[in-house]
Structure 1
Amino acid sequence: MPEPRSRKDAARNQEAVLKAADTLFARHESPDDVTMADVAAAAGVGKGTLFRAFGDRAGLLRALYEARLEPIREAVEAGPPPLGHATPPQERVPALLDAVLCFKLDNRRLALALEEGGSSSPYQAEHYQRWHSLLRAVLDQIPGLTDSDFTAHALLAATRADLIEHLAGQELIPRERMRAQLANFVARVLVSGPMQGLTAEE
């Protein structure tokens, strides 16, 4: 049975909006410089269509973020090493966190706008809860490592968008050095346990 035209139109409009938003956010220094009217005009749709599809600006940011994140999620759920299930947990944890770091480095402005936007805590965001649940499940597989729930939160804190923005934008730490620092931090946590790992430099 053919798909209803309205549904096809809606899917096509949503794809056009995400593509337009992606292009606009890439061109501007700050996502705050891009308005919903800008996105609607670039996509060739009315503002009403935009709001019906995404609810508000935060909804549009979430949808764009999720679209960019999809390849990583697919690699995590069904892909080959180092992200896939075949990788030992001691190797999968740093690979997962490295993937999050690289994703946020590649999407600094969008990640920062999404994590800072809205009145709710970023820890309540769907994408954060997904990463936390996944990381906690992998940490549970490591013998001798206790309190995987807190450890997952602590490790993910090292990939917060505001921290990445500070390190990359203010301290001008190169990408590869940042990745190495995160890998060393994760290694200490996994070897020493969460409390000792977190205080190793004190």
Structure 2
Amino acid sequence: MDAVRRERSDAARNRAKILDAAAGLVARRGVDGLSMAEVAAAAGVGVGTLYRRFGDRSGLAYALIDEREREFQAAFVGGPPPLGPGAEPRERARAFLHALLERTVDQLDLLLMAETAAPLARFGGAYRAHHAHLAMLIAQAAPGADAGPLADALLAPLAAPLLAHRLREGLTADRVRSALDALLAGL
């Protein structure tokens, strides 16, 4: 425990202000509108603080993704039902897929950038956590089912490149949600 470095309270406040300012800029202008100088001005910190803390624009973008991912994982691992423990496995899986859809739509530009950065970028730590959680719920809801490939099939429509493409074609998040429900009901 002594080796764990604690963030100073002023640094934590600055980090929160920076991430809030960056999230606001991305929400208004998309990831292409993310400017280090504008984030610094909106957060009330120096540009040097941003560069020291995040390295560059992509580091800041990944920090935004990471922050939201940590909140999401905390919710499905230990939050209230139906997303968290305490609900039936099918109900939890449904809540998980709906929450993941919402999270993906909310950060679509950032996730699109992250998932297309390298050939297998989508299948990093967050995907492994999502897959493991969903496979566990599927195994509980449908004993004997091949939970791993079924989890992949349920997660596939939530890939940022595919979802961005479909949304641009006019598909709505409500239709994706309904389709996920139909797939889940088929287990």
Q: Answer yes or no: same fold by TM over 0.5.
A: yes
Stretches of structure 2 that go unaligned for 5 or more consecutive residues are 1-6
Matched, 1:174 2:172: yes
Asked if the contact 2:34–2:57 (Cα under 8 Å) also holds between the matched residues in 1, the reply is no
With over 3 angstroms needed to count, the CA separation of the structure-2 counterparts of 1:54 and 1:126, relative to structure 1, is: farther
Q: How does 1:1-202 map to 2 (within 5 A)?
A: 7-28=8-29, 30-116=30-116, 118-119=117-118, 121-141=120-140, 142-146=142-146, 148-170=147-169, 172-188=170-186, 190=187
Tell me, which stretches of 5 or more residues in structure 1 are unaligned? 1-5, 191-202
Q: What is the TM-score with the length of structure 2 in the denominator?
A: 0.81
Counterpart amino acid of 1:79? G
Aligned residues between the structures: 180
88-97 vs 19-28, which moves further:
88-97
* Moved >4 Å (runs of 4+): none
Q: CA contact under 8 A between 2:25 and 2:33: conserved in structure 1?
A: no
Cα distance, 1:70 vs structure 2 = 4.6
Q: Is the 8 A contact 2:112 2:160 kept in 1?
A: yes
Largest Rg, 1 or 2: 1
What is the alpha-carbon distance in structure 1 between the residues aligned to residue 13 and residue 72 of structure 2?
Answer: 24
**Alignment-mate amino acid for residue 13 of structure 2:** R
Separation in 2, partners of 1:56, 1:133? 32
Alignment-mate amino acid for residue 173 of structure 1: L
- Which residue number in structure 1 is paired with residue 4 of structure 2? none
Whole-angstrom CA distance in 1 between matches of 2:69 and 2:89: 22
Instruction: Give me the whole-angstrom Cα distance separating, in 2, the residues matched to 1:21 and 1:65.
Output: 11
How far does residue 22 in structure 1 lie from its aligned partner after superposition?
1.0
Alignment RMSD (CA, Å): 2.3
Identity %: 41
Q: Deviations over 1:5-35 (max 9, x none)?
A: x82232122112101101111110x312323
TM-score, scaled relative to structure 1: 0.76
